[in-house]
């Protein structure tokens, strides 16, 4: 089963994903894509860490997400990826232009055939103000295209708003 949970900042998407992973009854591996580039991000990461059950495995992978998924996906496992937009940000802001396309394409290619329960968290960045700068517009476009592609692959898509879950696809 492939599941996408999408929402804005602080919408409750990570908590919902964690609840779904816990309720899966499977061994859970949490794949974290964030990097603590500043104090505020370090605090956010610590908040996420404090909520996770101690028995969950952790893989920190900011760039090579397809590799992490292939290495850890198994029929008896639930992989929770939090989050795709932070991963995308790492790629968009990276040094190599081609790396974004290569990593995104590899991820989208392997996703449909991964075994087990895969829960993907992503941010909906296109429902707000149109970004003014070139980099932020590029990121918003890339995130929108990535989210559309992942949603098409997933069996279930849920939008979170104000801590409430709205099923979009089942």
Per-residue pLDDT tens over the stretch 133-170: 999 999 999 999 999 999 999 999 999 999 999 999 99
> If you average pLDDT over every residue of the chain, what do you get?
94
> 136: annotated binding-site residue?
no
> Is 48 among the catalytic positions?
yes
Pairing of strands 27-32, 2-7: unpaired
- pTM comes to 0.94
Which residues, including other chains, have CB under 8 Å from residue 6's CB and lie 6 or more apart?
13, 121, 122, 123, 124, 147, 151, 157, 158, 159, 160, 168
> 33: annotated binding-site residue?
yes
Pick the catalytic residue: 20, 27, 48, 117? 48
> 2: annotated binding-site residue?
no
Class level of CATH domain 2-169: alpha beta
């Amino acid at each position: 089963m492939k599941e996408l949970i999408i929402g804005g900042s602080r919408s409750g998407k990570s908590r919902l994903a964690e609840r779904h992973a816990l309720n899966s009854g499977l061994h859970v591996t949490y794949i974290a894509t964030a990097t603590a580039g500043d104090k505020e991000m370090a605090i956010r990461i610590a908040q996420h860490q404090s909520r996770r059950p101690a028995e969950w495995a952790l893989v920190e992978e900011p760039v090579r997400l397809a590799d992490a998924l292939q290495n850890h996906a198994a029929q008896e496992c639930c992989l929770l990826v939090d989050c795709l937009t932070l991963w995308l940000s790492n790629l968009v802001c990276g040094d190599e232009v081609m790396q974004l396309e290569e990593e995104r394409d590899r991820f989208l290619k392997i996703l449909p055939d991964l075994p087990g329960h895969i829960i993907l968290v992503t941010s909906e960045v296109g429902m707000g103000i149109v970004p003014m700068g070139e980099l932020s517009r590029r990121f918003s476009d890339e995130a929108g295209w990535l989210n559309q592609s992942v949603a098409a692959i997933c069996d279930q898509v849920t939008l979170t708003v104000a801590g409430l879950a709205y099923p979009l696809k089942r």
